[in-house]
Every structure is written in C-alpha cells, then in structure tokens.
C-alpha cells in the first residue's frame, strides 16, 4: 500500500484528484468506481475545475458508484445519485448513460444487486475504485462483521453509521436503515484502489485498517490484501499511523 500524506483537506483533494485524472488520461474509456460522502467532495470539485479548463475529458469514461440508500428516489436530495449529479456528473462531459448508481427504489433489491454485479462484469471490471472510510473502518456500506465474500448486496446500517449520516437529514428517524452496496468481494475485484481520508476523527480507523490484523471487524483492513492500493490522507487522518511508525510519502 502506498500512503501519501498531505498537509490539509485541500491538498489531499488535489493529490487524489490528480491520481484520478492520471487514470482518465491514460485510459479515457476506463471504468471509475466512485464514492459519495464528505471526503471526496473536494476532489470532485478539483476534477470539475480541470474539466472546465479543458485539461480533462470524461467523454469516454464509464462509472459505477459504490452504494445507494434503500428507499430513496434518485431525485431525493440525500440520495447518492443526487449527490453524484450535484458534485460531479452535472458539471463534466461524462455521458449520463455511462453513469451507474444502484436504484434505491428497486422493487426487488436482491435482483438489483445481482444485475449490478453483472453490469460490472460486462463493463470489464473497475479500473480505479475510489473509497472513503467510515469511523468504524467501513468501506462502502460494508459494516464490521459483514462477510468479506459478498458481491453487491442489501445491508443494514450500523447504529454508528446511522449516527454519522444523521447530519445530512432533518432527524435521525429519517436516515434510511438499509442500503444497497457493493460488497468487499466487488471492491477487491477492482484493478486499483484509491482511499481518501481526512480529519483526526478518522485517525483511529486508518491506523487499525493499515496496521491491525485483517479482520471483518475492521472492513477496510481487507485492503492490506489488495495488490494496488493508494491511500491519500491529510496529516490529521494519518497521525496515529505515523505514531505507529508506518512510513508515509510526502
């Protein structure tokens, strides 16, 4: 695993965006796996800026998103489809039909998940998968204790994740309790993985994921077994990792 330390959120966002831009330039018809959450907002905004300056085109890029809340329409302001439109897709030249987000309103969620795995196969797999990390080490909506062998599946959110996501809703009651999510098996199938982390509140999860045992209690720890992972974090998020003596690149 390559680990890059950046001074702050802005620098972290630029560094991560540059790795995605490099991927887009080298493989303009590649498949990007994308994430939502607070952490990637800055990097998406940087990609939009480079697109607007004429430095980057997404015209041939295909994308698949990690996850979606079950029960939210794509037009719901807290749906992940809406997030992607607002933060990236509406501002770049990616073709709408080439952007794929799980349908939170699917009548048969299990069938939707199976069709999504099939879609990823038909696209030829994910070239670069972007990931954030939860405070409990979750990646996508794979919570502690979830089976590492699963593809896309329906998940029940942990109380901690519901708490963390509450800030986006008017009340805790409104936070969906279930989601559709790519599983660890789907994520580990990506050819390259880019993890972005920011803030001291992530330092513990990052340290456990990188230095601890590979365990389903810390889903991100499975990334130690992937051959091509780059983790980009700000100094605060990497603080405990550095205390533990793990070497990082500047």
Q: So which residues are the catalytic ones?
A: 67, 136, 138, 143
Binding-site residue total for ligand F6R (CB under 6 A)?
Answer: 14
Q: Does 19 interact with ligand F6R (rule: CB under 6 A)? A: no
Please identify, among the stretches 36-44, 105-113, 221-229, 240-248, the one whose residues bind ligand F6R according to the rule CB under 6 A: 36-44
Q: How far apart are CA 83 and CA 18, in angstroms?
A: 21
Q: What contacts 205, CB < 8 A, 6 or more positions away?
A: 133, 134, 135, 136, 137, 197, 218, 220
176 scored as a contact of ligand F6R (CB under 6 A)? no
Shortest distance, CB of residue 226 to ligand F6R, whole angstroms?
16
**Binding to ligand F6R by residue 67, rule CB under 6 A?**
yes
Residue that has been written with the tokens 């015209």 in this structure: 59
Q: Is 236 helix (H, G, I), strand (E, B) or coil?
A: coil
Residues 12/195, Cβ–Cβ less than 8 Å: no
**In the numeric block, which tokens belong to residue 7?**
């001074």
Cβ proximity to ligand F6R: between 94 and 102 the closer is: 102
Please, what is the Cα angle at 223 between 222 and 229, to 5 degrees? 170
Give the shortest CB-107-to-ligand F6R separation in angstroms. Answer: 23
Name which of residues 116 to 155 contact ligand F6R (CB under 6 A): 132-134, 138-141
Q: Which residues bind ligand F6R (CB under 6 A)?
A: 35-39, 66-67, 132-134, 138-141
């Amino acid at each position: 695993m390559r680990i890059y330390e950046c001074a702050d959120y802005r620098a972290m966002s630029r560094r991560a965006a540059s790795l995605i831009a490099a991927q887009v330039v080298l493989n303009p018809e590649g498949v990007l796996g994308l994430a939502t959450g607070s952490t990637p907002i800055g990097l998406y905004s940087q990609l939009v800026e480079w697109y607007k300056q004429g430095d980057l085109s997404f015209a041939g890029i295909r994308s698949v998103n990690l996850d979606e809340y079950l029960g939210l329409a794509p037009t719901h302001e807290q749906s992940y489809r809406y997030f992607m439109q607002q933060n990236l897709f509406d501002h770049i030249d990616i073709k709408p039909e080439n952007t794929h987000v799980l349908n939170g309103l699917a009548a048969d969620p299990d069938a939707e998940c199976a069709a999504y795995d099939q879609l990823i196969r038909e696209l030829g797999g994910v070239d670069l998968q972007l990931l954030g990390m939860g405070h409990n080490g979750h990646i996508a909506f794979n919570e502690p204790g979830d089976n590492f062998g699963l593809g896309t599946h329906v998940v029940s959110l942990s109380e901690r994740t519901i708490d963390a996501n509450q800030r986006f809703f008017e009340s805790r009651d409104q936070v969906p309790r279930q989601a559709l999510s790519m599983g660890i098996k789907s994520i580990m199938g990506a050819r390259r993985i880019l993890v972005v982390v920011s803030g001291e509140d992530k330092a513990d999860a990052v340290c456990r994921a990188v230095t601890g045992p590979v365990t389903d209690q810390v889903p991100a720890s499975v990334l130690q077994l992937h051959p091509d992972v780059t983790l980009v974090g700000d100094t605060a998020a990497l603080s405990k990792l550095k205390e533990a003596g793990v070497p990082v690149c500047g």
